[in-house]
Homo-oligomer: A and B are copies of this chain.
Amino acid sequence: MKPSAILLISCPDQKGEVAAIADFVFRHGGNILHADEHADEESGLFLMRVEFDPKDFDIDLSHFNSAQFNPGQMAHSSSTQTGLSEFAEQFEPIATKFQMKWRLALSSYRQRAIIFVSKYDHCLVDLLYRQKSGELACDIALIISNHPDNQPIADFYKIPYEVVSVTKDNKGAAEAKIQSLIDQHRPDFMVLARYMQILSNDFVNRYPRRIINIHHSFLPAFVGARPYHQAFERGVKLIGATSHYVTEVLDDGPIIEQDVVRVSHRDTAEDLIRKGRDLEKVVLSRAVRWHVENRVLVYGNKTVVF
Contacts and interface: CB of A to CB of B under 8 A. Distances in A.
A184 interface: no
A221 interface: yes
A222 B257 CA distance: 18
Interface string A141-172: 00000000000100010000000000000000
A185 interface: no
Interface stretch (A32-40, A88-96, A202-210): A32-40
A3 interface: no
A287 to B, nearest CB: 10
Nearest to A222: B220
Chain A at the B interface: SS class? mixed
A303 interface: yes
Interface string A125-136: 100010001010
A234 B220 contact: yes
A112 to B, nearest CB: 22
Given A22-B19, A282-B278, A236 B265 contact: no
A216 to B, nearest CB: 15
A301 interface: yes
A185 B235 CA distance: 33
A85 interface: no
A19 to B, nearest CB: 4
Given A16-B26, A31-B15, A35-B35, A41 B268 contact: yes
B238 A258 contact: yes
A35 B37 contact: yes
A18 interface: yes
Interface string A282-303: 1000000000000000001111
A266 B240 CA distance: 22
Given A18-B22, A41-B268, 20 more contacts: A17-B32, A19-B32, A20-B26, A34-B37, A40-B265, A121-B133, A122-B129, A135-B274, A218-B221, A218-B238, A218-B240, A221-B221, A234-B255, A234-B302, A235-B254, A235-B300, A237-B255, A237-B257, A237-B258, A265-B303
